[in-house]
Amino acid sequence: MNRKPKMRKYTKNDFDRQFPDDATCLEWLKSYLYPDGVFCEKCNRVTKHHRVASRPSYSCDYCGHHVHPTAGTIFHKSPTPLTLWFHAIYLMASTRCGISAKQIERETGVTYKTAWRMFKQIPSILEEDSPNGGKGRSVEMDEAYFGGRRKGGGGRRLRGDRGEQYKTVVFGIAERKGRIIAKTVENASGATLLPTVRGICDAEKHRVHR
């Protein structure tokens, strides 16, 4: 019997190679936001843009109009380097049993105040309307658990090997070397997750690995 080769896990070393500096992170963000090229509002068409050396923006080669990829995102006006934001996103997306703001502080070296802001904002990233995946791409998915017991007994009660706690279930789907979509769900049962997968992934055309 021929066994299908097991897909290699995306590791921290892979992440460090893919996002070594802020310039690379900004370029990735630009490519993600403008997959068909940057639209210049002044020229009213897609034009070539070059990176502005002194600012996290790109300038139109024809009219000089600036485009800021971080505008309207959780990175907007943040003094925290993009590499640390991306690192925190990687941590929250790849940690199966959840992660605390304190751990983000330890892993990234940011202050606790910054780590808390990351912890609160990253799960709130809105999912895109277009499906995840694409021709020749694979996606991976997993669930994570955030938070702990709340005062007054609010929250979702979870049992089993993760302990009996009140936690929020966050389900994530990630393209290999691509975007990450995360959304909160009621629980991690197949009946709950399957409609979510169908709504995000083009399941008929792309192989999904879990």
C-alpha distances in angstroms, 39 versus 32, 46, 66, 103, 205? 13, 4, 11, 39, 30
Query: Is the pTM for the entire model greater than 0.95?
Result: no
4 lies in a domain? no
Higher pLDDT, 209 or 33: 33
Residue 35 reports pLDDT greater than 50: yes
- Quick one: tokens of 195? 């409609």
Going by their DSSP bridges, the two strands 45-46 and 39-40 should be labelled as antiparallel
Q: How far apart are CA 122 and CA 85, in angstroms?
A: 9
Concatenated DSSP letters for 185-206? ES---HHHHHHHHHHHB-TTTS
Higher pLDDT, 83 or 194: 83
CA dihedral 31, 32, 35, 39 (to 10 degrees): -80
Where in the sequence is the domain holding 89, given as residue range(s)? 79-125
Q: How far apart are CA 124 and CA 138, in angstroms?
A: 24
Residue 59 reports pLDDT greater than 90: yes
Domain boundary residue, one of 31, 53, 71:
71
Q: Is the domain of 90 the same as that of 43?
A: no
161 lies in a domain? yes
Q: Is the domain of 84 the same as that of 67?
A: no
Residue 202 reports pLDDT greater than 90: no
Q: Is the domain of 21 the same as that of 59?
A: yes
Q: Is the domain of 119 the same as that of 147?
A: no
Going by their DSSP bridges, the two strands 156-158 and 58-60 should be labelled as unpaired
168 lies in a domain? yes
Higher pLDDT, 196 or 39: 39
Apex 23 CA angle, 20 and 25, nearest 5: 65
Residue 71 reports pLDDT greater than 50: yes
Q: Is the domain of 120 the same as that of 170?
A: no
Q: State mean pLDDT over 24-53.
A: 92
Residue 200 reports pLDDT greater than 50: yes
Q: Count how many domains the chain has.
A: 3
Q: State mean pLDDT over 143-153.
A: 51
Q: Is the domain of 117 the same as that of 163?
A: no
Residue 193 reports pLDDT greater than 80: no
Using only the alpha carbons of the chain, give its radius of gyration.
19
2 lies in a domain? no
117 lies in a domain? yes
Q: Please answer whether residues 184 and 169 qualify as being in contact, where contact means their C-beta atoms are separated by less than 8 angstroms.
A: yes
Query: For residue range 96-139, what is the model confidence (pLDDT) as tens digits?
Result: 667 899 999 999 999 999 999 999 888 876 344 344 444 455 55
Contact partners, residue 38, CB within 8 Å, separation at least 6? 30, 46, 47, 49, 58, 60, 67
152 lies in a domain? yes
Q: Is the domain of 35 the same as that of 59?
A: yes
**pLDDT for residue 79:** 94
pLDDT averaged over the chain?
A: 74
**pLDDT for residue 126:** 39
Q: Is the domain of 108 the same as that of 149?
A: no
Q: Is the domain of 179 the same as that of 202?
A: yes
Query: For residue range 78-93, what is the model confidence (pLDDT) as tens digits?
Result: 999 999 999 998 888 8
Residue 57 reports pLDDT greater than 70: yes
User: What SS3 class is residue 115?
Assistant: helix
Q: State mean pLDDT over 46-75.
A: 93
**pLDDT for residue 155:** 43
Q: Is the domain of 18 the same as that of 39?
A: yes
- Bridge partners, residue 45, by sequence: 40
